Structure 1
Amino acid sequence: MHAAAQNLRGVSPRGIRLRGQGIIEYVLIIAVIGLVIVFAGPGVAGAIRNQFNLVGNTVNNGTVGCVEGGASGGGSAGTDSATVQAAIAKDAKDWTLEEQEAVAEDIAAKDEASPAFAKAKAAIDAETKFSVKLTNGKTLEYRIIGLNHDDLADGSGKAGLTFATANDALGPQRMNATNTTVGGGEKSEIRSKMNSDEIWNLMPVELRSEMRAVTKVSNNVGVTFKPSGGAQPVTTSKTTDRLFLLSYSEIWGGESYVMSWVDGNQYEYFANGGYTNSVFGWIRTPNSPKRFYTAAPVNEDTDVEAASTVGAHAHPAFCF
């Protein structure tokens, strides 16, 4: 999808149907076929009648002169089946951006009933990587980590595919200019860079145009440690993001030993043990008044904290 089509997501010119036009075409076809049959031999006439029946069935289904296209995201009737079928027929590592988006839309619409669901799940299990050129010439690698996992910010349902960066192409970044976690991930410098500034601008237009805005749950207050007794305070709130850092809960599931919140559900990729070959740097979960968590791909218990100004790597996620 090109950038010019971003605001028309899910509305395909091929899917616009003029019902009256279909009936007129049908009547004209009947007239033409009738004249041809008069002058054609029996063999030709039979072939024409067969094609006529196919056209009639198409008109009755309301799809004359078009290929039905579904709206993007949840609540959709699916996407261009030809593109989905093309994706299913090839190795997932060879999927184009258009095919990745088509698969995402079909899974969002049909969940496990989508013919592409099993293929995408196999790509998670195989840790299949895709790649795209950043605007600075570096190659960004990314992989699928979730299916129908993230909520679309417009409330229309789920994003069919969630991806996470799989290499260090974005380089070291700091969370904030000063050592603070006040405001959590929401107010962090890196979040601003990912959604409208330096990091966002590194993404090629063709990739940005496919990204869907999703709702993320985070500790956007700052650190609140577990109390020794009584009810745990609620410290999470929601943000809308196109590029986002993963959270502690999204990687390891549940709470950490010091946290009193759960900031998102664990992604399928990590639930299946996809730690060893992952690349982690900053995650959006604060660990102390001055430090955020960082993570390294050694085992499920590997997490450390770093001062906000430290240049750890950025490995954001995004959704189609």
Structure 2
Amino acid sequence: MFAGPGVAGAIRNQFNLVGNTVNSETSAGTEGGGASGGGFTGTASTTVQAAIAKDAKDWTLGEQKAVAEDIAAKGEASPAYAKAKAAMDAGRKFSMKLTDGQTLEYKIIGINHDDLADGSGKAGLTFLTTSTGIKSCVNSGATNIGGWEKSEIRQKMNSGEIWNRLPSDFQSKVKIVKKLSNNVGGGPANKDAAVTATSDKLFLLSISEFFDKPRYDWGEYSWIGCEGTQYEAFKGKVTYSSANPSIANGKWWWIRSVNLSYTMHFSTVHGQGDLPYSSYADSSECVCPAWCF
């Protein structure tokens, strides 16, 4: 259970995290070839072939999108699959300039993981921001009623000020995907809240997208563990025992899950990688958007 409210501004309630550190961006791993480790299998566009021929960290936005669509269409048979998986496993970081001049860094965390909102299949690649230059509250008031769906930060990320900081070349490539959340609110009165879907371009991650199963003492909350499944980049690396600084990026940042025990807070990732903590919804914390190509 999350602890009760503390000092104004932010309440952070620690649940220990078990696991090994997510591989650093310089960790070893073969990034070549197709799914079988060799050259091309089947046909690949010239853009995909160009991406395979270079270091993944140097992929342009166009190449990232082409690789994602090829993987969505062909799965592991895509000649780009092995390259993308190796980049994910190694934590390779990409970067792009925001409209305000800041540099946003990000990495692959999922392959054929998220469902497209139109029901046509999977998005080939899911990315997560690793830089911490964007800050915001979730709501202007200290409430989590309405969850992610009704939150002000969701509006900012899908059509408002956060979305508008992203370059138009990026915006045109993002896939709209279906995200599952407790969109009712936290607290014991909502322990059996229904999990419902939203359609999102940018989104925050959820507790269950970090972990493969709920904590043993969360059993009375039926919605925990139902807000999506653990991303591939975290499998076998993110569990409940110890801090994981490589995930936290040294800062506190929001996730979209509401606080279990109270209606005033949303969950956060701790600055040293413990999850979940929580902060008042009107606190200013880092925002690490995720999205799909």
With structure 1 as the length reference, what TM-score do the two structures score? 0.70
Give the Cα–Cα distance (whole angstroms) in 1 for the partners of residues 92 and 164 of structure 2.
25
Instruction: Calculate percent identity across the aligned residue pairs.
Output: 54
Alignment check: 8 A CA contact 2:136 2:284 kept: yes
Q: Say how many residue pairs are matched.
A: 237
Give the Cα–Cα distance (whole angstroms) in 1 for the partners of residues 102 and 189 of structure 2.
42
Question: Structure 1 residues 79, 103: CA separation in 2 closer, same or farther (over 3 Å shift)?
Answer: farther
Question: Structure 1 residues 80, 98: CA separation in 2 closer, same or farther (over 3 Å shift)?
Answer: farther
**SS of the residue 1:198 aligns to:** coil
1:213-255 deviation digits (Å, cap 9, x = unpaired): 000000001125499xxxx735200000000000010012333
Alignment check: 8 A CA contact 1:222 1:286 kept: yes
Give the Cα–Cα distance (whole angstroms) in 2 for the partners of residues 169 and 113 of structure 1.
37
Q: Which residue number corresponds to residue 168 of structure 1? A: 132
Give the Cα–Cα distance (whole angstroms) in 1 for the partners of residues 270 and 44 of structure 2.
39
Gaps of at least 5 residues in structure 2 are 1-41, 239-243
Give the Cα–Cα distance (whole angstroms) in 2 for the partners of residues 79 and 187 of structure 1.
44
Question: Are positions 1:285 and 2:285 aligned together?
Answer: no
Gaps of at least 5 residues in structure 1 are 1-77
Q: Which residue number corresponds to residue 213 of structure 2? A: 254
Give the Cα–Cα distance (whole angstroms) in 1 for the partners of residues 173 and 230 of structure 2.
23
Question: Structure 1 residues 276, 268: CA separation in 2 closer, same or farther (over 3 Å shift)?
Answer: farther
Select which of 127, 130, 148 maps to 2:91.
127
1:196-218 deviation digits (Å, cap 9, x = unpaired): 10000000001111100000000
Structure 1 residue 277: Cα displacement? 1.4
Q: Which residue number corresponds to residue 276 of structure 1? A: 245
Q: Which residue number corresponds to residue 314 of structure 1? A: 287
Q: Which residue number corresponds to residue 78 of structure 2? A: 114
Q: Which residue number corresponds to residue 49 of structure 2? A: 85
Structure 1 residue 297: Cα displacement? 5.5
Structure 1, 264-273 or 274-283: larger mean CA deviation: 274-283
With structure 2 as the length reference, what TM-score do the two structures score? 0.76
Alignment check: 8 A CA contact 1:143 1:163 kept: yes
Select which of 224, 236, 239 maps to 2:198.
239
Q: Which residues of 2 match residues 171-250 of structure 1 at below 5 A?
A: 172-223=135-186, 225=188, 233-250=192-209
Give the Cα–Cα distance (whole angstroms) in 2 for the partners of residues 179 and 226 of structure 1.
18
Give the Cα–Cα distance (whole angstroms) in 2 for the partners of residues 199 and 207 of structure 1.
13
Structure 1 residue 284: Cα displacement? 0.4
Structure 1 residue 273: Cα displacement? 1.8
**SS of the residue 2:227 aligns to:** coil
Give the Cα–Cα distance (whole angstroms) in 2 for the partners of residues 143 and 199 of structure 1.
19
Give the Cα–Cα distance (whole angstroms) in 1 for the partners of residues 43 and 130 of structure 2.
27
Alignment check: 8 A CA contact 1:224 1:235 kept: no
Which of structures 1 and 2 has the bigger CA Rg? 1
**SS of the residue 1:107 aligns to:** helix
Question: Structure 1 residues 212, 79: CA separation in 2 closer, same or farther (over 3 Å shift)?
Answer: farther
Alignment check: 8 A CA contact 2:144 2:258 kept: yes
Structure 1 residue 127: Cα displacement? 0.3
Alpha carbon RMSD of aligned pairs, Å?
Answer: 2.0
Alignment check: 8 A CA contact 2:137 2:282 kept: yes
Letter in 2 for 1:85: Q
Select which of 69, 72, 75 maps to 1:105.
69
Give the structure with the higher percent helix.
1
Alignment check: 8 A CA contact 1:176 1:308 kept: yes
Give the Cα–Cα distance (whole angstroms) in 1 for the partners of residues 174 and 113 of structure 2.
14
Question: Structure 1 residues 137, 175: CA separation in 2 closer, same or farther (over 3 Å shift)?
Answer: same
Q: Which residue number corresponds to residue 152 of structure 1? A: 116
**SS of the residue 2:88 aligns to:** helix
Give the Cα–Cα distance (whole angstroms) in 2 for the partners of residues 302 and 183 of structure 1.
22
Q: Which residues of 2 match residues 66-77 of structure 1 at below 5 A?
A: none
Alignment check: 8 A CA contact 1:253 1:266 kept: yes
Structure 1 residue 298: Cα displacement? 3.3
Give the Cα–Cα distance (whole angstroms) in 2 for the partners of residues 270 and 193 of structure 1.
27
**SS of the residue 2:72 aligns to:** helix
